[in-house]
Structure 1
């Protein structure tokens, strides 16, 4: 950009450009003043400034009003497009209509939140926003904040205690633990004592892989007791199959086991602290109408 262009651009402001746009349309100072709700002298002052900035008279007296110069004619369409683009950019965001939307949303979830958050809302979401797509990606808490900041992820579902800092959040529900085994399990026909509970063979979910201690073991250790953990797996989905086909039992989140005919839920003989499930998102998406609709829809159903 040349030095002259820089100087001219710095002298321009939006009011001058709007006046020039109407002047080039009307070719008349009086009608321009009426359209802009300005006085005629004010429009004349604007025109004088514009002539100085562009180094061109822009509009010359003619037999039927004013006629544009060649420079003015060259400016007319680019200026109109530029002002229309600016108006579009600063206009309030249009209301989100899910029935017409074609968004692709990306959410980070564990297999637990897939089953307890996403599965319950999926059919309704497809009906409400049939043109949208949903991509579920693996939840990596250490990387979610960066992914959200870069727009790679829209939402994540995680426990409050381990949620990444610096993100917007909303409580979805509070979860508690229950003892779960197969229907007909011979040891789950009556309420267990703590000793009987510890004698059962347990399966646990270890998200990091291979661990044999969880929240239940901490609660037992506080009482000077320990249970028998026979199997450790990384995903809840496999645990459900294990429980249905063996005599192993598990302390599971209640929402995970509540809608199945093949498993039996009983109250455990000790209190294990539960957790709060949160919906997380980045500030960059907080006011986006589509993003806000998705958050409200999920929270409303869950």
Structure 2
């Protein structure tokens, strides 16, 4: 933010005039160098003086003499113009059409179901020679692999499901919550499970990412409750098959329920009050932050989330 509203009226030409007057000490010379009229130079100087509340340059017999404030400003204004030029030129953009590229991502099934299919279709539609290898997310983020470049991205859950690393950067991709899914023939009367009804039902627990704990049982433990798990599955689809024809309950992310739970077979209701939602986050090594290929990949993932209304 700016320290003064007066600074809002400045533009790039004003700063260019400041540098030119400082270096040349001549309004006439500045107008020739910048190809503008002397009246334009004078107008820019007036704006500069008003904005910075200082004369900046004094008109003497030997030319325009910089004030103390102008002298202290010179290096900063130079850096501003240099930064603007860097923004314009930027880093060399990644062009996936030039060479085949393979990206290695560690992610849970949630990412593979909701985001990866659209991402691959986008690559295919644009005829891009891009390969995406996905390895399953384990209990902890594979920090060493992300640091040494074996992995380009880690897609994980949040907030606070994994150990944080100060040298990693993070971006939230999706927000979601949990719903209770069951066979239509076992539909409960209530539109939302009470905590007591929730723990009285038998549960199938999907483990689409490897973890010793999960958000449901962790929350129940904090409420001094525990549920009965009759089966564990490696995928959301397998878990849905396991509850078919039973009165078992399956707690799924809402977006997964909408994607996979056929309304002809399954019903759902709201989870008990207080059961927290979660986010899907993207993490990468700080050293890869300016890597053009890695930046391009992150942009494509975020773009898919926007296209599908996930954020």
* TM-score interval (norm. to shorter): 0.5 to 0.7
Unaligned runs of 5+ in 1: 1-90
Per-residue CA deviations over 1:72-96 (Å, capped at 9, x if unaligned) read xxxxxxxxxxxxxxxxxxx975322
Separation in structure 2 between the aligned mates of residue 205 and residue 296 of structure 1, nearest angstrom: 30
Q: For 1:2-13, list aligned pairs within 5 A.
A: none
TM-score calculated relative to the size of structure 1: 0.60
Q: 1:181 to 1:101 in 2, by over 3 A?
A: farther
Matched, 1:297 2:300: yes
The residue that corresponds to 1:107 in the other structure is 105
Separation in structure 2 between the aligned mates of residue 100 and residue 240 of structure 1, nearest angstrom: 43
- Alignment partner for residue 125 of structure 2, among 124, 127, 136? 127
The residue that corresponds to 2:233 in the other structure is 233
Q: 1:163 to 1:121 in 2, by over 3 A?
A: farther
For the 8 Å contact 1:159–1:277, the answer to whether it is kept is yes
Deviation, 1:269, is 3.1
The residue that corresponds to 1:44 in the other structure is none
For the 8 Å contact 2:205–2:232, the answer to whether it is kept is yes
Report SS of the residue matched to 2:280: strand
Separation in structure 2 between the aligned mates of residue 208 and residue 134 of structure 1, nearest angstrom: 21
- Alignment partner for residue 283 of structure 2, among 243, 257, 280? 280
Q: For 1:258-269, list aligned pairs within 5 A.
A: 258-260=258-260, 261=262, 262-269=265-272
Unaligned runs of 5+ in 2: 1-88, 306-311
The residue that corresponds to 1:199 in the other structure is 200
Larger-Rg structure = 1
The more displaced of 237-246 and 156-165 is 237-246
Separation in structure 2 between the aligned mates of residue 240 and residue 179 of structure 1, nearest angstrom: 11
Report SS of the residue matched to 2:151: coil
The residue that corresponds to 2:176 in the other structure is 175
Deviation, 1:300, is 1.8
The more displaced of 231-240 and 251-260 is 231-240
RMSD: 2.8
Once superposed, which parts of structure 1, at least 4 consecutive aligned residues long, lie more than 6 Å away?
A: none
Deviation, 1:107, is 0.7
Separation in structure 2 between the aligned mates of residue 228 and residue 114 of structure 1, nearest angstrom: 28
Per-residue CA deviations over 1:118-164 (Å, capped at 9, x if unaligned) read 23432123223521111112224646221122111111101231154
How many residue pairs are counted as aligned between the two chains? 209
For the 8 Å contact 1:142–1:164, the answer to whether it is kept is no
Deviation, 1:301, is 1.5
Q: 1:263 to 1:195 in 2, by over 3 A?
A: same
For the 8 Å contact 2:187–2:267, the answer to whether it is kept is no
